[in-house]
Amino acid sequence: MIGIIVGTHGKFSEEIIRSSEMIFGKQENVKTVTFEPGEGPEDLLAKYEKALSEMNTEDGVIVMVDLFGGSPFNAASRLVIENEKMDIVTGVSLPMLLETFGVREVLPIEEVINTAINAGKDGIKSFKQGLLNSEEEEL
C-alpha cells in the first residue's frame, strides 16, 4: 500500500487526517508532520525521516503538503529528490485525501499521484456558478 505523509504549517496535517478518517475510516500507513513556530528546516527533515522509518515504503510514498515552496515542501523535497518511489503533491485538501485513500491499494504510484492532483482540482467549486451552469444545461 502506498504510504501518505501530510506535512503542513501548524497542526493542519493532523486535523485534516482526522477529518478524512471521519469520512473514510481509519487509515493505515499514513503519517503527519507539523511545522511549528520556532522550528527550522532540520527539525522538519528529522520529522519526515521519523515518519518514513515508521511506515511501509515498499510501494512508494506520497507527501502531501499545504504550499509549494513552503518549509514543509522544501524539507520533503530533500528526501524525495533521491527516491524514485516518492513524490510531493501540493495543495493538500480533503477531496484529495479521500480520493487517494480509495485508490492507493490498487493503482501504481504515478496514477495515485494523478488521482490526487485531479481530485484537488475537481474539489474546487463555486455554488453560484454551479447553479448557473445547471440552469443553462436545462435550457
φ/ψ of residue 66, rounded to 5: -80, -45
Per the listing, cell 515518519 goes with 51
| pLDDT (0 to 100) of residue 139 | 59
Active site residue 9: yes
- The active-site residue out of 9, 14, 21, 103 is 9
For the chain, the domains span: 3-138
| pLDDT (0 to 100) of residue 131 | 72
Superfamily of structural domain 3-138: Phosphotransferase system, mannose-type IIA component (3.40.50.510)
**Tens digits of pLDDT across the chain (139 residues):** 999 999 999 999 999 999 999 999 999 999 999 999 999 999 999 999 999 999 999 999 999 999 999 999 999 999 999 899 999 999 999 999 999 999 999 999 999 999 999 999 999 998 888 777 776 676 5
| pLDDT (0 to 100) of residue 128 | 83
3 state DSSP class of 31: strand
All three cell numbers of 48, joined, read 519526515
